[in-house]
């Protein structure tokens, strides 16, 4: 398969491999109307969180390599993965330079703290430039940080020893009791117990420090092609 494909072209490759039509694919993912799939394939719209959520929870989730779909790197099928390496490696040895990948979308869901560290990752990623600075890799669904971080990107994060001194120019993953999200952070000028979450495409909103489990720095970004 040629390199430097777009995500629309990669979805078409999935349909060719599965030997199904766009209408059947849409129905398999639970869409009542297939127009959303047509718009993605024709480049009229980008895949939404809903699309990725449906696909990665469908009957195809064990077949299609999610990292290939998002980045175009590696192979289409999990059984042929080159970038994502199965987590149950021989003797439990993690390949040198490989970073744990967790199929836990950022911008939705509950805290990842009970997952990372207590369970095995979905796989490992290597051979992406700059990835070695990250401790964990996660997918991003949503458009709040576009164009810097696109819908369908993967990010690498690192834990911070002290997040009381935050750089307003950096992007962070904020883990609360309810959410995990990527934003820039600004302190509140009047209340030191409040932080403001800032993104280019949505109004900023406040979170109380008491609701924050952890803040991790986004140190690696790979946007879909």
Give the Cβ contact number of residue 26 at 10 Å: 20
* Chain-centroid distance, C-alpha 211: 23
What is the per-residue pLDDT across 201-211, written as a single tens digit (0 to 9) for each? 899 999 999 99
> Looking at the whole model, is its pTM more than 0.85?
no
- Does 58 fall in a domain? yes
CB 98 within 8 A of CB 135: no
- Does 127 fall in a domain? no
CA angle 177, 179, 182 (to 5 degrees): 130
Nearest to 29 by CA among 16, 13, 15, 42: 15
Question: Helix, strand, coil shares of the chain as percentages rounded to 5?
Answer: 25, 25, 50
- Does 27 fall in a domain? yes
CA angle 31, 151, 156 (to 5 degrees): 130
- Does 223 fall in a domain? no
pLDDT, residue 199, reads: 93
Edge-first strand order for the sheet with 202-208 is 123-125, 99-101, 136-139, 154-159, 212-222, 172-176, 180-187, 194-199, 202-208
Q: How far apart are CA 199 and CA 171, in angstroms?
A: 9
- Does 89 fall in a domain? no
- Cross-strand partners of 10: none
| Segments in the chain below pLDDT 50 | 1-2, 80-88, 109
pLDDT, residue 91, reads: 53
**Structural domain that includes position 1:** 1-78
* Chain-centroid distance, C-alpha 17: 24
pLDDT, residue 112, reads: 60
- Does 207 fall in a domain? no
What is the per-residue pLDDT across 123-143, written as a single tens digit (0 to 9) for each? 788 777 788 889 899 888 888
Work out how many domains the chain is built from and give that number: 1
CB 141 within 8 A of CB 106: yes
Task: Say which CATH number the domain at 45 has.
Answer: 1.10.260.40
Give the Cβ contact number of residue 201 at 10 Å: 10
What is the per-residue pLDDT across 61-95, written as a single tens digit (0 to 9) for each? 777 888 788 888 777 776 544 344 444 455 556 66
- Does 50 fall in a domain? yes
- Does 180 fall in a domain? no
């Amino acid at each position: 398969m040629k390199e430097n494909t777009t995500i629309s072209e990669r979805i078409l490759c999935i349909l060719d491999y599965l030997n199904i039509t766009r209408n059947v694919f849409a129905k398999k993912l639970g869409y009542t109307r297939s127009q959303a799939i047509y718009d993605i394939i024709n480049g009229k719209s980008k895949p939404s969180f809903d699309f990725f959520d449906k696909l990665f929870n469908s009957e195809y989730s064990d077949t299609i390599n999610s990292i290939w779909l998002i980045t175009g790197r590696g192979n289409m099928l999990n059984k042929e993965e080159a970038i994502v390496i199965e987590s149950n490696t021989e003797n439990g040895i993690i390949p040198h330079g490989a970073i744990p990948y967790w199929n836990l979308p950022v911008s939705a869901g509950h805290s990842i703290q009970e997952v990372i560290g207590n369970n095995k990752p979905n796989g490992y990623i290597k051979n992406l430039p700059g990835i070695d600075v990250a401790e964990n890799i996660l997918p991003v669904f949503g458009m709040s940080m576009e164009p810097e971080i696109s819908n369908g990107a993967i990010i690498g994060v690192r834990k911070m020893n002290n997040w009381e001194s935050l750089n307003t120019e950096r992007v962070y993953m904020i883990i609360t009791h309810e959410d995990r999200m990527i934003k820039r952070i600004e302190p509140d000028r009047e209340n030191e117990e409040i932080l403001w979450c800032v993104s280019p495409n949505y109004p900023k909103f406040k979170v109380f420090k008491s609701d924050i489990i952890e803040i991790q720095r986004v140190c690696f970004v790979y946007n879909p092609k």
